[in-house]
Amino acid sequence: MTVADQETTTTRIRHPFHVDDEGVNRPPGPDKHPYYGHFAATGSGVVPIVRQINGEPVPALLICRYADVKEVLRRQDIFSRTAARHADPIDLTGIMLGMDGAEHARVRGTVKDRFTRPAVHDLAARIEAEAAEQLAVLRARGGPADLLADFAIPLTLHAICDLLGVPPADRAQFRRWGDAYLADSELTRDEAARAAQEMGGYLWAQLERRRGCPAPDLLTRIAAAAADETVDIQVKLPISLLVGGWETTANSIATFVHVLHSRPYRDHPTAWEYLLDHPAKLDAAVTELERLYSTANADNMPRRVLADVTLPSGARLRAGELVIASHDAANRDPGVFPDPERMDFDRDPNPHLSFGYGPHYCLGAHLGALEVRTALGLLLRELPGLRLAVQPGEVRWKAGHSILGPEELPVRW
Ligand code: HEM
């Protein structure tokens, strides 16, 4: 029996799972919906769901088993992003995240060497300095403060803007454009398209300027290496780095600080206090937080099945079906992560899929991970008395948003 056959007897589940009666995604906090773990551990691991995309119901199959998710993400020849474009919550035309095969490899290839582990390692001192600078600003202002807006966002925005070469005076505007681009509402496509158009106009001017007057920055690299691509592709390359780069990372920092302060760990009242006593555990702790609280929320990347295929679990899919590989579910597959809902800083190995896998594996994974580790390490060292300024349950979480994170994170120290 194929999954399509099973569908005739199964009611499709509304997705994202946190969607409420008004159709708005309202996650109650940083925890992912219990369905993820449930579907990864039981049944076929292939779940018929329905999503509202720009007001239209779009049926799809949610892929939940670890090995199946990897297979879907790995095989671009069978699972196409381009052929699933109409089901993307935002228009990804011209953006590498929405491309397949040779086009994707070509566009990604223009910048990928700047994001390898060694290349990012060379940025460590600069990011450490940027984090220290933002912390000094935070301290000078005094508490209470919003850790997201007053520390995490400036840090990650400046880090990617430094790399690209976006002048400091223009960065606040990028923040506004990026928020509109990533917002997830009824108006998403229109708002996002307008923000992308304005960002595109600005970036095109920057690229043109670099062609006449090269600078030691990534925009100059894009201006040269992507010169034969369409204007659309050229301007959307830096957009994807900017937008993909700061919101995700900033929200990881804020979410992880919230979790560390609101969960006991071993014999410590909070995981934060555990890390104060065991600073060498920071890297492993961040990896585990990435697994459980992935910032890339709501399984936003549908793929179209191009030919009948059998997944490693034995589930069969038919050509034409729409699938969504859920890294949140895969990260809870008990066959790979024993006792998956338990936060365990000694989990080893911890091959989570929160940065994706295969050809679309997050280009900025090393950079994002470095920024998060640098920020948390600095806060633990320099502000050990940091604490939430409200009860953990009072923090409001982004609603209807493709990124997991608090609206704001009030803190004191
Ligand atoms: C820590 C925070 C981050 C998380 C959780 C995250 C998550 C992800 C995920 C899950 C994907 C894959 C989507 C798919 O398979 O379809 C992805 C792709 C991508 N990410 Fe990240 N990301 C983060 C940080 C960054 C940073 C710092 C950058 C900036 C350089 C970045 C740029 C990108 C780009 C350009 C892609 C598309 C890659 C492609 O299509 O080939 N990300 N990210």
Residue nearest to atom 39 of ligand 1 (CA): 360
Inform me whether the pLDDT recorded for 24 exceeds 60: yes
Q: Which domain holds residue 280?
A: 3-412
Ligand 1 atom showing the smallest separation from residue 156 Cα: 27
- Average pLDDT score over the chain: 92
Terminal-residue alpha carbon distance, the chain: 58
**pLDDT tens-digit series, residues 160-207:** 999 999 999 999 888 888 777 766 554 566 777 788 789 889 999 999
Inform me whether the pLDDT recorded for 211 exceeds 70: yes
Range from 297-301, 311-315, 371-375, 389-393 carrying the lowest mean pLDDT: 297-301
Inform me whether the pLDDT recorded for 387 exceeds 90: yes
How far does the centroid of ligand 1 lie from the alpha carbon of residue 53, in Å?
22
Inform me whether the pLDDT recorded for 82 exceeds 80: yes
89 lines ligand 1 (CB under 6 A): no
How far does the centroid of ligand 1 lie from the alpha carbon of residue 244, in Å?
6
Tell me if 326 sits within 8 A of 65, measured CB to CB.
Answer: no
Return the best residue to mutate from 362, 371, 401 for the ligand 1 pocket (most ligand atoms within 8 A of CB): 362
**pLDDT tens-digit series, residues 298-346:** 788 999 999 999 999 999 999 999 999 999 999 999 999 999 999 999 9
252 lines ligand 1 (CB under 6 A): yes
- % of the chain beyond a pLDDT of 90: 78
200 lines ligand 1 (CB under 6 A): no
98 lines ligand 1 (CB under 6 A): no
Ligand 1 atom showing the smallest separation from residue 301 Cα: 16
108 lines ligand 1 (CB under 6 A): yes
Ligand 1 atom showing the smallest separation from residue 97 Cα: 40
73 lines ligand 1 (CB under 6 A): yes
Ligand 1 atom showing the smallest separation from residue 357 Cα: 15
How far does the centroid of ligand 1 lie from the alpha carbon of residue 240, in Å?
9
**pLDDT tens-digit series, residues 239-264:** 899 888 888 999 999 999 999 999 99
Inform me whether the pLDDT recorded for 234 exceeds 70: yes
Residue nearest to atom 13 of ligand 1 (CA): 356
Ligand 1 atom showing the smallest separation from residue 163 Cα: 30
241 lines ligand 1 (CB under 6 A): yes
Ligand 1 atom showing the smallest separation from residue 325 Cα: 15
Inform me whether the pLDDT recorded for 9 exceeds 50: no
Rg (CA), the chain: 21
Beginning with the edge strand found earlier in the chain, give each strand of the sheet holding 410-412 in spatial order: 145-146, 410-412, 387-388
Q: Which residue has the higher pLDDT, 403 or 382?
A: 382
pLDDT, residue 183, reads 60
Inform me whether the pLDDT recorded for 5 exceeds 60: no
Domain count, the chain: 1
Measured distance CA(217)–CA(126) in Å, rounded: 14
297 lines ligand 1 (CB under 6 A): no
How far does the centroid of ligand 1 lie from the alpha carbon of residue 364, in Å?
6
**For 136-152, what is the mean pLDDT?**
94
Name the H helices within 110-229: 117-121, 124-141, 147, 153-164, 171-182, 188-212, 218-225
Measured distance CA(362)–CA(60) in Å, rounded: 23
**pLDDT tens-digit series, residues 273-291:** 999 999 999 999 999 999 9
pTM of the model: 0.94
Residue nearest to atom 16 of ligand 1 (CA): 301
Q: Which residue has the higher pLDDT, 403 or 220?
A: 220
Q: Is 314 left (phi over 0), alpha (psi -120 to 50) or beta?
A: left
How far does the centroid of ligand 1 lie from the alpha carbon of residue 61, in Å?
22
Tell me if 134 sits within 8 A of 378, measured CB to CB.
Answer: no
How far does the centroid of ligand 1 lie from the alpha carbon of residue 296, in Å?
8
pLDDT, residue 408, reads 95
Measured distance CA(342)–CA(329) in Å, rounded: 14
Ligand 1 atom showing the smallest separation from residue 104 Cα: 41
Inform me whether the pLDDT recorded for 229 exceeds 70: yes
User: 352: domain CATH number?
Assistant: 1.10.630.10
Range from 4-18, 29-43, 152-166, 313-327 carrying the lowest mean pLDDT: 4-18
Task: Read off the pLDDT band of 2 (50, 70, 90).
Answer: very low
How far does the centroid of ligand 1 lie from the alpha carbon of residue 248, in Å?
8
Tell me if 130 sits within 8 A of 136, measured CB to CB.
Answer: no
**For 338-361, what is the mean pLDDT?**
98
Task: Read off the pLDDT band of 1 (50, 70, 90).
Answer: very low
